[in-house]
Amino acid sequence: MLHSKLLAILLAATTIVTPGTPQGSSGAVAAPEYDPSRPSAQANPDGSISPRPQSQTRSTRSLSACSRYSAAGPIGGQWSTSGPGCSLFGLRGAKHTYSWEMQWFSNAKACVQGRGYNSRRAPYWAGIGCGSGGAYTVGWGEVISTTRVKVKSLSVVTNAPIWWS
Amino acid sequence: MPSHEDITLARLVAPVCVVAAAALLAGCTSHDPQPRATLTPNEPPSPASIEHMEQTSRSLSRRLRCSDATVVTSDLTFFDDARGFDCFSADGEPIFVRVFDESNSVAQVLQDWGPTLLDGRTVVTGPNWFAIGPSAAIEPVTSETGASDASTNIPTPVPLTASQDDANTCIRFIVSAAGQSATERDHFAQMELELDELYPDAAARIRELVEPALAHDIRTAGGIESASFLNILEPIASDLRLICNLTTD
């Protein structure tokens, strides 16, 4: 039931929604975080992402632009939340695999968390690895949301810049 | 150990009559502690605060018509202590109710819930609580004092202080690691050294707390993505929080 509704939601959201004004054809359908100007993709049950059908997107950014973002754990060892990544439209049972690596010029180490959604569409944060890189798959079923990570440098005297997707 | 999935609304409702009767007799509602506006991360709630959270949770449960309730005695996705329950509407959609010790926690926790407010799912907020579920199902709690209308709009949060943010991120990381220690041992093993760098002795403490029976329950439920994962961890919730308290003091 939700699957067919979600497809209707995707169509409605991509043609009607503007940032910060979540609404759609049936009243309230788009997530507050959804931003049609950002790169967007479809999250699939096998953990992959794929381009959304042209009929469902007005994004001018390609899927490749959805693939890699920069973030950094700051000096001082605090956790830092990244900016928004890719807008992912999760099909039923969809998963998303976060991956990250240290930027080439840094020999720092970091720990990284990524946001996902469980089988009842409740949010959770998962550890996606510590050290110089890592990957982890989280749930993304029937949610329209933006990927985000939190990064912490394992050194208090150097920051930890990463690439993540 | 009885499954948390087996806990029914009866467990929530049963004590309500006792509490309601006691409240009538003692006139205790006027002495209810108010939710705190600011909270020191490592400060546990007082017994009076816990009673107030539980009383609010029971009050909300009486208004909702839902089934297959699971009691929540510690929301491990956030540093602030919480009470509440998860249950299902008549058409099988999940309903989530959380009552916090601190009033600011509502808006802060809801930031991650925003993207799930789709397909008829809405939120009603109160002074220190929220209910999420289908509009029609959660409409009755709008009668509670200080409740908002059912909406997809989430309130703007007061930013977390640095120490609250650290405590918050710590508990999420520790909880995730606890789940991964049961389901993805290689992944957990790769993180152990760094985990201990972040939070001293955390890896060993997690291995000790997630004993084989608990690990089995986590695996059987489907790991950290499972809806019952956090409920399974509730018996060790205070110990997991303690790992963060010891390192963020």
Residue A145 lies in a domain: yes
Domain tally, chain A:
1
Give the domain extent around A67.
Answer: 38-164
Nearest to A24 by CA among A35, A39, A38, A14: A14
Residues 6 or more apart from A161 whose CB is under 8 A from it?
A70, A71, A72, A102, A103, A105, A106, A108
Partners of residue B187 in chain A, C-beta under 8 Å: 129, 136
Nearest to A45 by CA among A104, A110, A90: A90
Residue A6 lies in a domain: no
Residue A144 lies in a domain: yes
Residue type, A17: V
Chain A residue closest in CA terms to B221: A119
Asked if B190 lies within 8 A of A30 by C-beta distance, the reply is: no
Asked if A32 lies within 8 A of B162 by C-beta distance, the reply is: no
Give residue-wise pLDDT tens across range A8-67.
544 444 332 223 333 333 322 344 566 666 667 777 777 777 776 554 444 444 444 467
Partners of residue A144 in chain B, C-beta under 8 Å: 115, 118
Please give the Cα distance from B35 to B45 (Å, whole number).
Answer: 10
Q: What ipTM does this complex have?
A: 0.75
Angle at A123 between CA A46 and CA A37, to 5 degrees: 75
User: For B231, phi and psi rounded to 5 degrees?
Assistant: -65, -35
Residue A1 lies in a domain: no
Confirm or reject contact between B154 and chain A (CB < 8 A). Answer: yes
Residues 6 or more apart from A21 whose CB is under 8 A from it?
none
Output the six-digit token pair for A59.
Answer: 């994004």
Angle at B141 between CA B136 and CA B146, to 5 degrees: 135
Please give the Cα distance from A101 to A50 (Å, whole number).
Answer: 22
Confirm or reject contact between B227 and chain A (CB < 8 A). Answer: yes
Partners of residue A32 in chain B, C-beta under 8 Å: 114-115, 117, 152-154
Residue A21 lies in a domain: no
Residue A8 lies in a domain: no
* Dihedral angle over CA of A145, A82, A20, B85, nearest 10: 60
Q: How many other CB atoms sit within 10 Å of the CB of residue B49?
A: 22
Candidates A34, A125, A151: best to mutate against B (most CBs of B within 10 A) is A125
Handedness of CA B41, B42, B43, B47 (dihedral sign): positive
Q: Point out which residues pair with A151 in neighbouring strands.
A: A80, A112
User: In terms of C-beta density within 10 A (0-12 exposed, 13-18 middle, 19 or more buried), how is residue B182 classed?
Assistant: buried
| One pLDDT digit (tens) per residue for chain B, 249 residues | 334 433 344 444 433 333 333 333 333 333 444 555 555 555 667 888 889 999 999 999 999 999 999 999 888 888 888 999 999 999 999 999 999 998 899 999 998 898 899 889 999 999 999 999 999 999 999 999 999 999 999 999 988 888 888 888 889 889 999 999 999 888 888 888 888 888 889 999 999 999 999 999 999 999 988 888 999 999 999 999 999 876 654
Residue A77 lies in a domain: yes
Angle at B96 between CA A84 and CA B227, to 5 degrees: 75
Percent helix, percent strand, percent coil in chain B, to nearest 5: 55, 15, 30
Residue B211 C-alpha, separation from nearest chain A C-alpha, in angstroms: 20
Please give the Cα distance from A76 to A61 (Å, whole number).
Answer: 35
Residue B33 C-alpha, separation from nearest chain A C-alpha, in angstroms: 29
